[in-house]
Amino acid sequence: MLPMTTNNSALLATAASIAASAVLIRTLASDLLPSSAEEYFSEKIAYMLESLSSDLIITIEEFDGAITNHMYKAAESYLATKLNKSTRRIRINKQEEDSDNFEVKIDHGQEIVDLFEGIKFRWRFSSKNSKPSIQTYNHRHMKPNTMETKFLELKFNKKHKDTALKSYMPFVLSQAKTIKAGIKTLKLYTNDQYSWESVNFHHPSTFETMALDVELKKEVMQDLARFVKRKEYYKRVGKAWKRGYLLYGPPGTGKSSLVAAMANFLRFDIYDLELTELKSNSELRSLLAKVANRSILLVEDIDCSVNFESRENKKQSQNQEESVTESDDGKVTLSGLLNFVDGLWSSCGGERIIVFTTNYKDKLDPALLRPGRMDMHIHMSYCTPTGFRVLVSNYHALDDHQLFGEIEGLIKEVDITPAEVAEEMMKTDDADVALQGLLKVLKERKNKTAGEPKGDETEEDENKDH
């Protein structure tokens, strides 16, 4: 703000009188002058007034020609979080009929003041009429049709231009990205031979509700969080920004649930790739090319869905193994898929995750298990005492019970999947009855399997590599 000196008062008086004259000239002009001349003079006068001010104004239009201006969209969602007591007009918009989310937008004419690093930034939503590039006429009034162009005006003191452009704008963009990720409705894409179809994805599974070993859960979450932050790293080493997870374990141990939890955690869409739908590499290539950024490419039950090269075949082509994409019968192989992905995605720069699931790790193509192919191998085990506690807390909001000791003892001894435990927990709302039911199942299983060697449990640590 300028201090009030006599000089400045004079300056203000001049500005006021220019403004008054501007109004007069405008009134006269609209009567006497053709509209283009009127626009010309009012622009000149506005320019004169602005040149007296210490403000800088940035205009951000909604569209650049026919192309969306993402800065406008970002500022719009950022400013919707800046409503305060003096906000008078907002708009509400709900696109999905059965969702609980709605969008809040600031209405036309509304001003928002935002403080950033101690600097006042004044935003105003506005619009102007402009002529479309293809001229059309409104025949009733014999006037050319005009188009409403929405824009945002950002006003601040000139001396903060650098902060505005180098810090504030990037800040608005990054805030908008976070907001968007928070309200984004996730999609689940499935494929036929040629294309992806999507439905909204509302899977309740989260890391919190997953019955998983605490350490493993932490490890997976940290791995994901680190991956999404490493854009610059992948760029520097010239690799596609992708990470691969191989989930293996018996049916009902939560492989699909973990993928859903990952998607919910990262707010990524899922592309559930059904390889058996595909007849050729070119179909695979075209589908992979359509997988968007910030997504999980999921291939379930990989032991069933693809034919691997025979060992013979592999021996012959050992040196070119990396380039082999089809097995003898023309079906795609997973190594081939990974090669495709590297080639296709390394040029697009966005972050993507690949998850393969299988019930039988031993049946997999050894090429796929080589270090570096899938970054993390995650063993999904039978239910553990910790997993059991998570499930009871999910279904009955219970963190202790007299039967816990006996149940946990049995869970250590017999193989029961989290899915089976979940099923017992869901049978009734009465926690006592549900736990009794689970205890019965465990006892029966123990009697049945008495004497049989126990299979799956011990491999967990030796098979988990990164």
Q: Does 253 bind Mg ion (CB under 5 A)?
A: no
Residue closer to ligand ATP, measured from CB, 354 or 380: 380
Inter-residue contact 69 to 60 (CB < 8 Å): yes
* Residue type, position 219, single letter: E
In the bound complex, what is the minimum distance in angstroms from residue 256's beta carbon to Mg ion? 3
| Contact partner, 455, from Mg ion, ligand ATP, none, Cβ < 5-8 Å per class | none
Cβ partners under 8 Å of residue 128, min gap 6? 148, 149, 151
Q: Does 256 bind Mg ion (CB under 5 A)?
A: yes
Stretch in the footprint of ligand ATP (CB under 6 A) among 97-105, 143-151, 398-406, 416-424: 416-424
Helix crossing, 214-229 with 255-266: angle to 10°?
40
The closest alpha carbon to 352, from 289, 258, 274, belongs to 289
| Contact partner, 210, from ligand ATP, Mg ion, none, Cβ < 5-8 Å per class | ligand ATP
Q: Does 256 bind ligand ATP (CB under 6 A)?
A: yes
Residue closer to ligand ATP, measured from CB, 176 or 422: 422
Q: How far is CA 2 from CA 7, 121, 155, 327, 349, in A?
A: 11, 17, 16, 77, 48
Inter-residue contact 72 to 66 (CB < 8 Å): no
CA dist., res. 120 & res. 174, Å (int): 19
| Contact partner, 253, from ligand ATP, Mg ion, none, Cβ < 5-8 Å per class | ligand ATP
The closest alpha carbon to 242, from 189, 297, 196, 283, belongs to 297
Residue burial 135-158, b: 16+ Cβ < 10 Å; e: rest: eeeeeeeeeeeeeeeebbebbbbe
Q: Does 257 bind Mg ion (CB under 5 A)?
A: no
What x-and-dash track marks residues 136-165 binding ligand ATP by CB under 6 A? ------------------------------
Residues between 57 and 96 that touch ligand ATP (CB under 6 A): none
Helix count and strand count (H, E) for the chain: 17, 17
Residue closer to ligand ATP, measured from CB, 191 or 358: 358
Give residue for tokens 């605490």.
Answer: 214
Q: Does 425 bind ligand ATP (CB under 6 A)?
A: no
Residue closer to Mg ion, measured from CB, 191 or 358: 358
Q: Does 204 bind ligand ATP (CB under 6 A)?
A: no
Give residue for tokens 């928002």.
Answer: 112
| Contact partner, 252, from Mg ion, ligand ATP, none, Cβ < 5-8 Å per class | ligand ATP
Helix crossing, 169-183 with 70-79: angle to 10°?
70
Q: Where are the alpha helices (DSSP H) in 33-143?
A: 35-51, 70-79
In the bound complex, what is the minimum distance in angstroms from residue 396's beta carbon to ligand ATP? 14
Residue closer to ligand ATP, measured from CB, 249 or 336: 249
* Residue type, position 204, single letter: P
Stretch in the footprint of ligand ATP (CB under 6 A) among 133-141, 314-322, 401-409, 415-423: 415-423
Please give the backbone phi and psi of residue 308, each rounded to the nearest 5 degrees, phi first.
-95, 160
Stretch in the footprint of ligand ATP (CB under 6 A) among 113-121, 125-133, 317-325, 418-426: 418-426
The residue number whose beta carbon is nearest to ligand ATP equals 254
Helix (H) or strand (E) holding 355: strand 352-358
Q: Does 295 bind Mg ion (CB under 5 A)?
A: no
Residues between 348 and 387 that touch ligand ATP (CB under 6 A): 359, 380
The conformational region for residue 99 under phi > 0 = left, psi -120 to 50 = alpha, else beta, is beta
CA dist., res. 122 & res. 154, Å (int): 6
Stretch in the footprint of ligand ATP (CB under 6 A) among 8-16, 204-212, 324-332, 439-447: 204-212
Residue closer to ligand ATP, measured from CB, 325 or 384: 384
The DSSP bridge pattern shows strands 143-144 and 137-138 to be antiparallel
Residue of the chain from 75, 154, 164, 212 that contacts ligand ATP (CB under 6 A): 212
In the bound complex, what is the minimum distance in angstroms from residue 78's beta carbon to ligand ATP? 36
Q: Does 305 bind Mg ion (CB under 5 A)?
A: no
- Furthest-apart CA pair in the chain: how many Å? 105
Residue closer to Mg ion, measured from CB, 150 or 203: 203
Q: Does 255 bind ligand ATP (CB under 6 A)?
A: yes
Q: Does 163 bind Mg ion (CB under 5 A)?
A: no
Q: Residue numbers of the site for ligand ATP (CB under 6 A)?
A: 209-212, 251-257, 359, 380, 418-419, 422
Where do contacts with Mg ion occur on this chain (CB under 5 A)? 255-256
